Amino acid sequence: MTDGNPILEVRNLQVNRGGVSVLNIPHLDVFEGKVLSLIGPNGAGKSTLLLALSRLLKSFRGDIFFKGRKISSNHSILSYRRNISMVFQEPLLFDTTVFENVASGLKIRGMKKDETKSAVEEYLERFGIHHLVNRSARKLSGGEAQRTSLARAFAIKPEIIFLDEPFSSLDPPTRESLIEDLDRILRETGTTAIMATHDQMEALRLSDQIAVMNLGEIAQIGPPEQIMNYPEDEFVASFVGMETIFAGRVTKTHEGSFVVSISGRDIEALGIVTTGDTVVCFIRPENVVLSKHPSEEMSSARNVFPGTIVRITSMGLFHKVQLDCGFPLFAYVTHQSLENLSLDEGGDVFASFKATAVHVIRKEKK
């Protein structure tokens, strides 16, 4: 699977504010049709990077190349901006109807009223807000407003779409449905997307690449599994290394359950997949049970693996235990259990989890 050509290339990007360096990116490539997520703590520079990449930020040093051409003069900046779109955490809708809002990007480009109609309606449909076409923007719920904002951004058919924590102010069910729709539309349209988020699940769900940022720099960038399972330094590790995530090939399927193979280990899981698919899976640490010997209780769990304790970290009320079972596995244990099992770093344990504990995040067809 080859990556296309980079649609966006960044070289030596530096942003200073009040004498302090807030962004320092020596090198970054974004590939066409792919989704890049930026994650990191507050103040890491995610929003700044988005603003710089979208050329909404004016003062920075360094170069940005769009499709191989440097964006520098006023003219090229404007024409670049007309090829991209941005969605913010707040919907930032205009005080008019949903239709007018979605059409605004097109009107800015000089499209006449009747021409905008079909483009607007297409995206109203895609985002499921067609029934709101004449509603005033003031009378929309949070989810409806953000859908409108997204429809507005997509209606102009951007080559790249930038998203700055677009779902953070939404409640979980709304967020869920929007993420699904966005995922689908991104794949259907093949739009390149760069998204900043502090929700790792979102990042895992949507991204082809994740960049972990800290203090204005990219600490690590790579596919989700790589970031999650092979953090390169302390910071990334402590930021992401909480859950088990792996990618493997489906070797067997049987009526709603399947076996995924990773590093020679077979893991049973539930889900509708096809043999030969590559799936990215995720196991919540609290669903992993540890014991010194494989016991009766464990027999009901389908997945039992021996492993070595790599590290034990105290998380306050519980401990996080990182295991190596041939694949990385994380478990939470209470202080009590830690004592009872006399777990030590370097020691051996058995880890078990039910098939239901394995969640499929994504599947890729062969």
Partner 1 sequence: MDIIIEGIKQAFILLFTFDPEVLGITWLSLEVSGTATLISLMIGVSVGTAIALTRFPGKRFVISLINTGMGLPPVVVGLFVTIFLWRNGPLGFLEILYTPTAIIIAQAVIATPIVMGISLAAIQNLPANLRLQILALGATRLQMVWILVKEARLPLLAAIMAGFGGVISEVGASIMVGGNIKGYTRVLTTATVMETSKGNFDIAMALSIILLLLAFAINAALTQIQQRERPR
Residues that bind partner 1 (CB under 8 A): 51, 54, 56, 78, 81-82, 84-86, 88, 90, 92, 94-97, 104-105, 108-109, 136-139, 152-153, 156, 162
The length of the chain is 366
Nearer to partner 1 by Cβ, of 94 and 230: the residue is: 94
Nearest approach, Cβ of residue 54 and partner 1 (Å): 6
Nearer to partner 1 by Cβ, of 19 and 264: the residue is: 19
The percent helix, strand, coil of the chain (3-state, each to 5) is 30, 35, 30
Structure token digits, residue 197: 């988020």
Give dist(CA 313, CA 331) in Å, integer: 11
Q: What is the DSSP letter of 265?
A: E
Q: What is the DSSP string of 140-170?
A: --HHHHHHHHHHHHHHT--SEEEEESTTTTS
Nearest approach, Cβ of residue 121 and partner 1 (Å): 18
Give dist(CA 208, CA 225) in Å, integer: 10
11 to each of 14, 59, 209, 247, how far by Cα in Å? Answer: 9, 15, 18, 32
Nearer to partner 1 by Cβ, of 108 and 272: the residue is: 108
Nearer to partner 1 by Cβ, of 82 and 198: the residue is: 82
Nearest approach, Cβ of residue 61 and partner 1 (Å): 20
Nearest approach, Cβ of residue 56 and partner 1 (Å): 5
Nearest approach, Cβ of residue 266 and partner 1 (Å): 48
Nearest approach, Cβ of residue 145 and partner 1 (Å): 12
Strand pairing report for 348-353 and 289-291: antiparallel
Nearer to partner 1 by Cβ, of 163 and 219: the residue is: 163
Nearer to partner 1 by Cβ, of 161 and 279: the residue is: 161
Q: What is the DSSP string of 80-131?
A: HHTTEEEE-SS----SSBHHHHHHHHHHHTT--HHHHHHHHHHHHHHTT-GG
122 to each of 126, 152, 291, how far by Cα in Å? Answer: 6, 11, 56
Nearer to partner 1 by Cβ, of 108 and 315: the residue is: 108
Nearest approach, Cβ of residue 92 and partner 1 (Å): 4
Nearer to partner 1 by Cβ, of 87 and 269: the residue is: 87
Give dist(CA 129, CA 284) in Å, integer: 34
Other CB atoms within a 10 A radius of the CB of residue 134 amount to 9
319 to each of 167, 284, 322, 347, how far by Cα in Å? Answer: 30, 14, 10, 15
Nearest approach, Cβ of residue 150 and partner 1 (Å): 12
Give me Rg for the CA atoms of the chain. Answer: 23
Phi then psi for residue 77, to 5 deg, are -65, -45
Nearer to partner 1 by Cβ, of 161 and 250: the residue is: 161
Nearest approach, Cβ of residue 170 and partner 1 (Å): 17
Nearest approach, Cβ of residue 17 and partner 1 (Å): 13
283 to each of 86, 109, 246, how far by Cα in Å? Answer: 33, 47, 9
Nearer to partner 1 by Cβ, of 137 and 279: the residue is: 137
Q: What is the DSSP string of 252-264?
A: EEETTEEEEEETT
